[in-house]
Structure 1
Amino acid sequence: MPDTERTLQLVLARAGVDRAAHHRQDEPWLAAAWSHPTTKVLPIAGGEVFVVDTEAGAELVLLPSFEAPQVGDRYFLGTDEEGVSYFALAGETLPGRLDGDARPAGLREVGASLSDRDAGLLVHAVALEHWHRLHSFCSRCGHSTDKAGAGHLRRCTSCAAEHYPRTDPAVIMVVTDEEDRCLLGRQALWPEGRWSTLAGFVEPGESIEQAVAREVFEEAGVKVAEVSYVASQPWPFPASLMLGFVAKADPDGTAITVDGEELSEARWISREELRAGMESGEILPPSGISIARHLVELWYGEPLPPAARW
């Protein structure tokens, strides 16, 4: 295995803004921050924002608060080292067409080409917007809820129950056998040739190590003997935290039997086979925005070569 510092560069795990959670309940401070001339606002609707394309990559279109729409839900995203405050403004639609080359885009499309600051802001905003859309009513009594805590809390208008944004832990793992081959699988609904690492949600009352072993066995029939944690990455599609692992298969339990539900196919693949498959176009590796790509590269030993198809 190569240096695990490579996994610290996960695309959606970057950030350049302090979330400054201690300000979320301070309404006077939030009001002053919103009206400050240096404050930047990120309009968002349905997971999309405006970006502009530059030679260095995509950049978020951030508006001063006095140019931002007056209608919408405000979510405080944090402050940077220079004291600039950042807010997301969620609406039913993005504001009218902006001047210049701004275009709407989503996190999957531009996440890999954003700066650390912009990637962190967009991941945060996308996760909050989606959570608010689905939690208008109290799960305790069924009455409506109101936004509070600068977008990081909803409070029931009847029983006063407080509800916080949900995060679902999911494990994702690169599994190797005695020959140091990698276990990859594919789902029937994926594009032709797409292969990736195995993954699944952690169940109630289950450790993450147990989840790794269970998911690998359920999906591919392979028994896991050793599990080691690597890194995590937020995955707000809609509300997951991907916990990355490397795992070794039990030498006596490497026979593959796919479940036919989560996976339609699975295979052990060597580095040489992966490289040849990518060069021929037979294999499409995981996309660069996913931690799966980094786990495969961790096993592979270096960045994957360009694929014939992408």
Structure 2
Amino acid sequence: MQNAEFVTFGGSGLDRAASERASDIQDSLRALNESRTALFWRGKPFLTPDDESGGLRLMRLPLDHPALSDGGLTVYLGRDGAVPTFATDLSAWTPDELPETLNSFADPSEQIHPFVPDGSFQELRSAMTRLSARAAELAATGRALLEWHRIHRFCANCGAPTDPTQGGWQRDCEACGRHHFPRTDPVVIMLVTRGNSVLLGRSPGWPDRMYSLLAGFIEPGETVEAAVRRETWEEAGVRVGTVTYLASQPWPFPASLMLACHAEATSSEISCDPQEIEDARWISKEEMLSCFAGLHEVLPPRKGAVAEHILKNWVADTLD
């Protein structure tokens, strides 16, 4: 697919510097004056306006900055150019107000830390398209890695507490000797077409009128192609034949890897499973153009999502 890697959160060529994750090297990197860390609070990165681009920058501070007095775990993201770059969890800090919108699909609230007044913690889903490719990849990596540590503090083998090692890319259990590694959940997301139309669906709880491509988790022992066929049938009652790979996107909400595929439908009748999706419908290319223009009752997928990227290429006939 043309421009397959130019999706949000991917394509920046970040040097993850895996050879620098050993504890002795990490100690040396953290002591360097030039090292920097991004800040996260409950999964929200700390962002500041970028006057040059009109977008947002991922704030990165020295590791001895006063804001880190509230800091929890710090993990190593790699090198941004020559700069050793980390991510620090500040979730132990409590802002003056906790809005009801926290943890919602697109939390609009922002939290300002008293030691860093020229920016705020913002929901990454809403901010992702205003970041540079490098900043978006760093933010996605930091968010996913810190969230993995938050929910994997105990050994899945024996239940004992585990300790972060390898710059945050591993957790070790001293009790039984097991090593644990960051989890990534593979998800298929399908451009299901039949003639000039594409199959779109919506899940309960999404913003009003928003539709997207069907998607679902790949199960153990299942190929990507089989997952595409199974999920399309389970969610919409539509059978598909040929399946081809299009693109992928890291999706750190909390730790998915979206595998976008093109599937050719062999049936057209829709029968939604209400346990899976709220509604599904066929949309023509002409209607999809109206959706993107805001002139249709259906709203397109969120900007920055791989579904939007795929649909725009489908409409423009640039999938191949």
Give the TM-score normalised by structure 1.
0.90
CA deviation digits over 1:57-86, x for unaligned, max 9?
1001110122152542120110133x2100
Match 1:122 to one of 139, 144, 147? 139
Alignment partner, residue 307 of structure 1: none
What corresponds to 1:104 in structure 2?
A: 121
Report matched runs for 1:140-289 at 5 Å: 140-177=157-194, 179-250=195-266, 253-277=267-291, 278-289=293-304
- Would you say the 8 A contact 2:113–2:120 is kept in 1? no
Unaligned 5+ runs, structure 2: 94-111
Q: Distance in 2 between matches of 1:201 and 1:14?
A: 23
Q: Closer, same or farther in 2 for the Cα pair 1:160/1:204, shift >3 Å?
A: same
What SS does the aligned partner of 2:118 have?
Answer: coil
**Greater mean deviation of Cα atoms: 10-19 or 122-131:** 10-19
Measure the CA separation in 2 of the matches of 1:146 and 1:256: 49
Q: Which amino acid aligns with 2:15?
A: D
Q: Determine whether 1:63 maps to 2:61.
A: yes
Q: Aligned partners of 2:156 and 2:117: how far apart in 1? A: 44
**How far apart are residue 201 of structure 1 and its match?**
0.3
Distance 1:240 1:127 in 2: 9
Which deviations, in whole Å up to 9, do the C-alpha atoms of 1:231-254 show, x marking residues without a partner? 11111111111001111111xx22
Answer with 8-17 or 155-164: which moved more: 8-17
Query: How far is 1:288 from its partner?
Result: 1.3
Shift of 1:189: 2.2
Distance 2:8 2:143 in 1: 15
Counterpart CA distance in 1 for 2:126 and 2:147 is 17
Are residues 1:49 and 2:45 paired?
Answer: yes
Query: Quick one: distance in 2 between partners of 1:302 and 1:112?
Result: 23
Is 1:76 paired with 2:76?
Answer: yes
Q: Secondary structure at the match of 2:64?
A: helix
Aligned AA (1:240): S
- Between the two proteins, the alignment pairs up a number of residues equal to 295
Shift of residue 99 of structure 1?
4.6
Counterpart amino acid of residue 182 in structure 2: P
Q: 2:220 aligns to what SS in structure 1?
A: coil
TM-score when normalising by structure 2: 0.87
Deviation at 1:98, TM superposition (A): 3.7
What CA distance in whole angstroms lies between the structure 1 residues aligned with 2:145 and 2:276?
28
Q: What stretches of structure 1 move > 3 A for 4+ residues in a row?
A: 93-96, 276-279
Distance of 1:100 and 1:162 partners within structure 2: 39
Q: Is the 8 A contact 2:189 2:259 kept in 1?
A: yes
* Aligned-pair CA distance for 1:191: 2.0
Residue type of the alignment partner of 2:77: L
Partner residue in 1 for 2:306: 291
Residue 24 of structure 1 pairs with residue 16 of structure 2: no
Q: Secondary structure at the match of 2:212?
A: coil
CA contact (8 A) 2:288 2:315 kept: no
What are the Cα deviations for residues 254-282 of structure 1, in whole angstroms up to 9, with x where unaligned? 21111122122111111122233553351
Taking the aligned partners of 1:147 and 1:51, their CA distance within structure 2 comes to: 26
- The DSSP-based 3-state class of the residue aligned with 2:149 is helix
Using the aligned pairs only, state the percent identity.
39
Answer yes or no: is the 8 Å Cα contact 2:186–2:218 preserved in 1: yes
Superposition RMSD on alpha carbons, in Å?
Answer: 1.8
> Quick one: which amino acid aligns to residue 203 of structure 1?
E
Within 1, Cα distance between the matches of 2:204 and 2:224? Answer: 26
Larger CA deviation: 147-156 vs 41-50:
41-50
CA distance in 2, matches of 1:54, 1:122: 16
Q: Distance in 2 between matches of 1:263 and 1:90?
A: 34
